[in-house]
Amino acid sequence: MALIQLEKFLLPIPTKRYFTISEVSSLCGVKPHVLRYWEQEFTQLRPMKRRGNRRYYQPHEVLVIRKIRELLYDQGFTIVGARNRLQEFVQLDLHKKADNSCLSEAPDLKEKNFKLSLVNEISDGFKNFSASQFDVENSLNSNAERLMFDQLRVELIQIRTLLGPLI
């Protein structure tokens, strides 16, 4: 929901190859000195530098800056928390690309059909599952168990969204 609110106030990103720090500053609603600081804190921000250390940002870096801004200003993360969350997004994106290439690079039709049948089987399991039949949350004894359960829930939701187009 915060991203929707953020997009209301920010200008759309023009179709350009490179942006100066002042352009990125106005596109993202962040002052230039903050952008320079974030470069030190977030490894995903590495603008190209030319003569006189002038920074030139690419469109994907503008999107990363907007995501950092959302995490810090709208969702209240600390720098360390935002850095970790951003890394999670990067890893999730890599997993999505790997999963999509796995289905599309199947050597023959039999293997693709086998993978699709597995996807259908998993999705049927999701559809038939009823939370009232198995109440895990109330049976958790420790914070560690609850944390593991929450991580598992997030992973299952991510799997469901990845499989969504195939269901």
- CB count within 10 Å of CB 71 equals 21
**71-to-36, 60, 66, 116 alpha-carbon distances in Å:** 17, 17, 9, 36
Closest C-alpha among 41, 21, 42, 23 to residue 32: 21
Residue 39 one-letter amino acid: E
pLDDT of residue 134: 45
Instruction: Name the residue ranges covered by the structural domains of the chain.
Output: 2-79, 107-167
Full-model pTM? 0.53
Tell me the CATH architecture of domain 2-79.
Orthogonal Bundle (1.10)
Q: Which residues of 6-26 are buried (b: 16+ CB within 10 A; e: fewer)?
A: beeeeeebeeeeebebebbbe
Rounded Cα distance between 94 and 33, Å, is 31
Does residue 49 sit in helix, strand or coil?
Answer: strand
pLDDT of residue 112: 63
pLDDT at 3 over 50: no
Q: Are 65 and 35 in contact (CB under 8 A)?
A: yes
pLDDT of residue 165: 59
pLDDT of residue 109: 64
pLDDT digits (tens, 9 = 90+) for 54-71: 999 999 999 999 999 999
pLDDT at 25 over 90: yes
**74-to-64, 67, 90, 92 alpha-carbon distances in Å:** 15, 10, 20, 22
pLDDT digits (tens, 9 = 90+) for 78-122: 999 999 998 888 777 766 666 665 555 545 666 666 666 666 665
